[in-house]
Structure 1
Amino acid sequence: MANSNVLGTPAAGAAQAAPAASRQGSPRKNRRLRRLSKRDVVILSIMVGIPTLIQVLLIWGPTLLSIGLSFARWNGLDLSDIKAAGVANYQYIFQDYPAFWPAVGHNVLWLVFLGIIGTPLGLLLAVLLDQRIKGSRIYQGIFFTPVMLSMALIGVIWQLFYNKDNGLLNFLLGTAGTPQAVDWFGDSSVNIWAALAAATWRHAGYVMILYLAGLKGVDPTLREAAALDGASTSQTFFRVIFPAMKPINIIIVVITIIESLRAFDVVYVINKGRNGLELLSALVIQNLVGEGQVIGVGSALAVILLIISLVPIVWYLIRTFRKDERA
Structure 2
Amino acid sequence: MRPAPRARAGRRGPRRFTRRDLAVLGVLLGLPVLLDLAIVWGPTLASIGLSFTSWDGLGEIRWVGGKNYATLFTDYPQFWPAVRNNLLWLGFLGLVATPFGLFLAVLLDRGVRFSRFYQSTLYMPVVLSLAIVGFIAQLVFSRDQGALNAVLANQDHPVDWLGDPDLNIWMVLIAAAWRHTGYVMILYLAGLKSVDASLKEAAAIDGASERQTFFRVVFPTLRPVNVIVGVITVIEALRAFDIVYAINHGRNGLELLSVLVTDNIIGEASRIGFGSAIAVVLLTVSLGFIATYLVQELRGEKQT
TM over 0.5: yes
CA distance in 2, matches of 1:269, 1:163: 13
Report SS of the residue matched to 1:181.
coil
Cα 1:317/1:115, change in 2 over 3 Å: closer
CA offset at residue 222 of structure 1?
A: 1.2
Amino acid at match of 1:101: W
Give the corresponding residue for 1:274.
251
For structure 1, which segment, 50-59 or 188-197, has the greater mean C-alpha deviation from structure 2 after superposition? 50-59
Does structure 1 retain, via aligned residues, the 8 Å contact 2:227–2:297?
Answer: no
Cα 1:321/1:163, change in 2 over 3 Å: closer
Give the corresponding residue for 2:41.
60
Does structure 1 retain, via aligned residues, the 8 Å contact 2:223–2:297?
Answer: no
Does structure 1 retain, via aligned residues, the 8 Å contact 2:230–2:293?
Answer: no
| Residue from 32, 35, 38 that aligns with 2:17 | 35
Larger radius of gyration: 1
Give the corresponding residue for 1:238.
215
CA offset at residue 325 of structure 1?
A: 8.3
Cα 1:124/1:55, change in 2 over 3 Å: same
Cα 1:34/1:217, change in 2 over 3 Å: same
Give the corresponding residue for 2:28.
47
CA offset at residue 130 of structure 1?
A: 0.5
Cα 1:324/1:226, change in 2 over 3 Å: closer
CA distance in 1, matches of 2:167, 2:70: 31
Amino acid at match of 1:289: I
CA distance in 1, matches of 2:217, 2:73: 46
CA distance in 2, matches of 1:32, 1:127: 50
Give the corresponding residue for 1:4.
none
Q: Is residue 117 from structure 1 mapped to residue 96 from structure 2 by the alignment? A: yes
Amino acid at match of 1:163: S
Q: Is residue 165 from structure 1 mapped to residue 144 from structure 2 by the alignment? A: yes
CA distance in 1, matches of 2:109, 2:48: 46
The equivalences for 1:91-240 within 5 A come to 91-176=70-155, 178=156, 180-240=157-217
Cα 1:193/1:294, change in 2 over 3 Å: same
Structure 2 gap ranges (5+): none
Structure 1 gap ranges (5+): 1-16
Amino acid at match of 1:286: D
Amino acid at match of 1:35: F
For structure 1, which segment, 141-150 or 48-57, has the greater mean C-alpha deviation from structure 2 after superposition? 48-57
Deviations 1:173-213 (A, max 9, x none): 1113x3x1111111111000011001100110111011101
Give % identity.
54
CA distance in 2, matches of 1:186, 1:53: 45
CA offset at residue 316 of structure 1?
A: 5.0
Deviations 1:263-304 (A, max 9, x none): 111111111111001111111111111212311110000001
Give the corresponding residue for 2:52.
71
Cα 1:45/1:326, change in 2 over 3 Å: farther
RMSD of Structure 2 on Structure 1 (CA): 2.2
Deviations 1:13-40 (A, max 9, x none): xxxx9xx78xx65x2xx334143133x3
For structure 1, which segment, 52-61 or 195-204, has the greater mean C-alpha deviation from structure 2 after superposition? 52-61
Deviations 1:200-257 (A, max 9, x none): 0011011101110111111111110111122221221122211221221222222222
CA distance in 1, matches of 2:35, 2:266: 24
Does structure 1 retain, via aligned residues, the 8 Å contact 2:52–2:64?
Answer: yes
Does structure 1 retain, via aligned residues, the 8 Å contact 2:90–2:234?
Answer: yes
Higher RCO (C-alpha 8 Å, min separation 6): 2
Task: Give the number of equivalent residue pairs.
Answer: 299
CA distance in 2, matches of 1:321, 1:136: 33
Does structure 1 retain, via aligned residues, the 8 Å contact 2:53–2:273?
Answer: yes
Give the corresponding residue for 2:66.
87
Cα 1:326/1:242, change in 2 over 3 Å: closer
Amino acid at match of 2:28: M
CA distance in 2, matches of 1:76, 1:129: 53
CA offset at residue 313 of structure 1?
A: 3.0
CA distance in 1, matches of 2:18, 2:118: 52
